[in-house]
Amino acid sequence: MFRFKHLVAAAAAASLFTAPAQAQELTGTLKKIKDTGTITIGHREASIPFSYLDEKQQPVGYAMDLCMKVVDAVKAELKMPNLKITLQPVTSANRIPLLQNGTIDIECGSTTNSVERQKQVAFGPTYFVINVSAVVKKASGIKTMAELNGKAISTTSGTTAVPLLKKYEKTANIDVKEIYGKDHAESMQLLTTDRVSAFVMDDILLAGQVANQPNPGDYVIFSESLRTEPYGMMLRREDPQFKALVDRAVGAVYKSGEIEKIFSKWFASAIPPRGVNLHFQITPAIREAFKNPNDRGVQ
């Protein structure tokens, strides 16, 4: 009898350390979602093809599809199949403050994961890798960053392109006049209307903007790069429970191979609202991110 009681007690003690995640006390974002019955997704309005508005003014895109995989995981984890989803537009300038103050629970867009930003927020696994470059009108004859010396250029407020451009000005000893757009569409419009000579931004975002112009062939994107950067979903810092769920959900999409279909849908197929195709294939750097998921930020 003594041995039986001893075994039962040992088993009970062991169970305390092997309790499933659902039995753990909820904290951070998951607790907030459980208490409110709502998850709020921060989305962009002009980050084609990651997160932007379609012809019905609904947010769609590659990042949105991946974020919905996270929403599905949250529903399963919290046993809340009818979880309410609130969509909140954000900009490059306000996305971090709105995440920090609890207005949004996750940001799904085209946000660079940098070591500097990791001091303020956390990130899910890298889901894209870009090069910061520039687009100009072919008719301008401008072919390099150095040739922008003395000219006006646009970039989007609150993006990593801003400090990169300032750093380049110092190291290359050039001087440009910077005009900031509130989003990528406005920054591109500054170029199309000849208010600036170039738009400096992430190459894939430049490609998305060019593809949606009436005459895409009028523009050229530099092969020159200011820096290579990873994109990831943005989360609140010091929230290990939610971070673990996001990592599992995105990692499962990579491991299953479903990421190939999602990628092809947005980068190698006709996309709304104009049915353009970016004809962008998975690069070695992106393939590596899918093979070995990580949240490493760029220096």
- The per-residue pLDDT for 3 is 40
CA-to-CA distance for 14 and 261, rounded, in angstroms? Answer: 42
Its pTM stands at 0.84
Q: For 252-275, how does the pLDDT look when each residue is reduced to its tens digit (9 = 90+)?
A: 999 999 999 999 999 999 999 989
Structural domains of the chain, ranges and CATH numbers in brackets: 26-127+232-291 (3.40.190.10), 131-228 (3.40.190.10)
CA-to-CA distance for 43 and 91, rounded, in angstroms? Answer: 8
Mean pLDDT score, 88-97: 96
Q: Nearest CA to 155 among 185, 189, 181, 190?
A: 181
Examine the pLDDT at 7 and tell me if it is beyond 70.
Answer: no
Examine the pLDDT at 177 and tell me if it is beyond 80.
Answer: yes
Which helix (H) or strand (E) segment holds residue 192: the answer is: helix 184-192
Q: For 16-56, how does the pLDDT look when each residue is reduced to its tens digit (9 = 90+)?
A: 333 344 558 999 999 999 999 999 999 999 999 999 999 99
- The per-residue pLDDT for 24 is 80
Examine the pLDDT at 169 and tell me if it is beyond 70.
Answer: yes
CA-to-CA distance for 139 and 217, rounded, in angstroms? Answer: 11
Rounded (5°) CA angle 62-185-101: 65
| Distance linking the first and last C-alpha atoms of the chain | 63
